[in-house]
Amino acid sequence: MKMVEDKFNYMDLLDRLYEKLPERRVTPPPDIPPLEIVHVGAQTKIRNFKNVCDVILRDPRICARYLLKELAARGTIDESGVFTIYSRVSMHTLNQLFKRFLDTYVKCSTCGSYQTELRRQGKVWIIRCLACGAETPVKPI
Ligand SMILES: [Zn+2]
């Protein structure tokens, strides 16, 4: 009789499971990295802001404008891609707002994919899905 090998344990099984996930997944929200939020004095910084915006194929300035508008705050994006908000905003609030941005301005309302692009034609903004091709008009920010 063959012995069960040591390495064939629970962690290995988990690893194998995770390895298979990307192929099976239809929509990739887990690929969007979590916001790295830090508080510096009375300011709030999102350190990986540009990086996250690159992943969701959005202009950081558009996403920043949305967040600032919702927060009624002022802020700026520096050349290294760090987004600084000139007020103290809780992680919970920021994450919730960012999720709302994703739901409204990134996620395809037809198939649920996050692989979409935003087209601006004057005052008309359209989300076009790269997965299914659906086009959804959205409110300009
Ligand atoms: Zn779609």
pLDDT in tens, 31-59: 899 999 999 999 999 999 999 999 999 99
- Domain hosting 88: range is 28-107
How many residues does this entry show for the chain?
Answer: 141
* Mean pLDDT, range 21-40, rounded to an integer: 71
The enclosing domain of 60 has a CATH number of: 3.30.30.170
- Residue 59 covered by a domain: yes
Q: What is the rounded distance in angstroms from the CA atom of residue 85 to the CA atom of residue 22?
A: 34
Cα 109 to ligand 1 centroid, rounded to whole Å: 7
Cα 7 to ligand 1 centroid, rounded to whole Å: 41
- Residue 3 covered by a domain: no
Element housing 95 (H / E): helix 91-105
Q: What is the rounded distance in angstroms from the CA atom of residue 59 to the CA atom of residue 127?
A: 13
Cα 103 to ligand 1 centroid, rounded to whole Å: 13
Q: What is the rounded distance in angstroms from the CA atom of residue 116 to the CA atom of residue 135?
A: 9
What contacts 8, CB < 8 A, 6 or more positions away? Answer: none
Cα 71 to ligand 1 centroid, rounded to whole Å: 29
- Residue 43 covered by a domain: yes
- How far is C-alpha 84 from the geometric centre of its chain's CA atoms? 17
Q: What is the rounded distance in angstroms from the CA atom of residue 65 to the CA atom of residue 83?
A: 11
- Residue 85 covered by a domain: yes
Counted domains in the chain: 1
pLDDT single digits (tens) 8-17: 566 676 666 6
The burial class, CB within 10 Å (0-12 / 13-18 / 19+), for 123 is exposed
State the chain's mean pLDDT as an integer.
Answer: 87
